[in-house]
Amino acid sequence: MKATRQHIKEHNTTLVLQTIYQNTDISRAEIARYTGLTRTTVSDIVASLIDDGLVVEVGQGEPSGGKPPIQISLVPDARQILCLDLSSDNLFGTVVNLRGQILHRQYLPLDGRIGQAAMEQVCRLVDLLAGAATASSLGIGIGTPGLVDSTRGIVHQAVNRGWVDLPMRDLVAQHFSGPVYVTNDSQAAALGEHTYGSQRQASNLVVIKVGEGIGSGIVLDGQLFPGDGFSAGEIGHLMVEYDGLPCTCGNYGCLETVLGKRALLAKAQAKARQHPNSLLAQQSGGGQLSMEHLHQAYLLGDPLANELIVQAGAYLGAAIANLIGILNVRNIVISGYPEKFGDTLLQAAMAEARKRVLPAMAVETHLSLSTLGEVDVVLGASALVLREELGLP
């Protein structure tokens, strides 16, 4: 029996597959006990899952008197998921298995491409990933910057990519067979952290992604909260400075203009120019400062670099205070460049957040850095495909 998507989605099959997924090895009798299904039903479903190659019999378990039971286990590489993270100018793709293990990594620079040319590069990346996969594909998952209608796979607006109402899902599906899922990159990161990161037990979670842009993804009761217009957590364009700098969105003083990677490096560049003998200025040898230069100066204990990081942390803290105040979520994970600056940035963020919310709420807040690093978006995209196609985890 071929496992079509409808078949897999059937409640009992999903229940059995979930039970096998959550246990390393498990017998048919234990599956029946956990799920409340009859042994016959379980045996039928397991037989069909074995036919599909999704699970396998793996020797025998502990005998409990009588014949030792045969154990059933998931085959992690039975299907592979092609995952894309479009948040950086260097597009990033991975092939991921059913257990969230990264089997292959691929980068493809945009080299300034925007609009249709950028979209063609996305398809090229899918092509490279499809070529690298060693098992049949379960689907394609994409985390992209911008406002994304994830039910229809449309990118309504991604300013830096030049995409307006781009039907990304359908464009990718024209070239590749199998289901395609598209979601916002920060929301994908939140799903990644919640499924594979250090906050797996948290039912509520906010993940703030700080890079060229700033966004957050919100998980409530174990489910991604997209908002009415798919833009919940879009904090990058909240105004934080009344007489601030102009922003790409047309407004002034947005969080992105003070905390975004470009904004931070511009400030660092200005500081380096004012203090040509500083460690910070020496890192770039008078040239353009990169995040690596700033990181090096910070590691060497340069006070200017430290000051910049503390200031960035304070802006982040202001954003965190807003999120805590509105959602009362205790677990907040920060991903992106702040990972390089560890406790200095986190402590500054927490100190600022504490000034801005009720003390009791601040005490409950647990702020941490992402443990997944650069793979948070792709793992989230894989989790989306896994959930929609197989009902896992």
CB of 243 to Zn ion, least distance (A): 15
Stretch that binds Zn ion, among 77-85, 240-248, 273-281, 292-300 (CB under 5 A): 240-248
CB of 245 to Zn ion, least distance (A): 10
Edge to edge, the sheet with strand 26-27 lists: 26-27, 70-74, 55-60
Cα–Cα distance for residue pair 190/207, rounded to 1 Å: 5
Interaction between residue 263 and Zn ion (CB under 5 A): no
Interaction between residue 249 and Zn ion (CB under 5 A): yes
Cα–Cα distance for residue pair 218/231, rounded to 1 Å: 10
**Residues near Zn ion (CB under 5 A), total:** 5
Q: Is 10 exposed, middle or buried (0-12, 13-18, 19+ CB in 10 A)?
A: middle
Asked if 182 and 169 touch (Cβ cutoff 8 Å), the reply is yes
CB of 240 to Zn ion, least distance (A): 10
Stretch that binds Zn ion, among 41-49, 133-141, 249-257, 301-309 (CB under 5 A): 249-257
* Amino acid of residue 197: G
Structure tokens that stand for 130 in this block: 């499809």
Interaction between residue 158 and Zn ion (CB under 5 A): no
β-bridge pairing 205-210 and 331-336: parallel
Nearer to Zn ion, 214 or 334 (CB): 214
Stretch that binds Zn ion, among 11-19, 140-148, 241-249, 376-384 (CB under 5 A): 241-249
Interaction between residue 145 and Zn ion (CB under 5 A): no
Structure tokens that stand for 191 in this block: 């799903």
Stretch that binds Zn ion, among 93-101, 233-241, 364-372, 381-389 (CB under 5 A): 233-241
Which H helix or E strand runs over 169? helix 168-175
Interaction between residue 247 and Zn ion (CB under 5 A): yes
Interaction between residue 254 and Zn ion (CB under 5 A): yes
Interaction between residue 164 and Zn ion (CB under 5 A): no
Which H helix or E strand runs over 223? strand 223-224
Nearer to Zn ion, 160 or 311 (CB): 160
Interaction between residue 293 and Zn ion (CB under 5 A): no
Backbone angles phi, psi at 104, to 5 degrees: -155, 140
Beta-carbon count within 10 A of 44 CB: 16
Find tokens 């942390």 and name the residue: 313
* Amino acid of residue 29: A
Interaction between residue 237 and Zn ion (CB under 5 A): yes
Stretch that binds Zn ion, among 54-62, 248-256, 312-320, 332-340 (CB under 5 A): 248-256
CB of 254 to Zn ion, least distance (A): 3
- Which residues here bind Zn ion, judged by CB under 5 A? 237, 247, 249, 251, 254
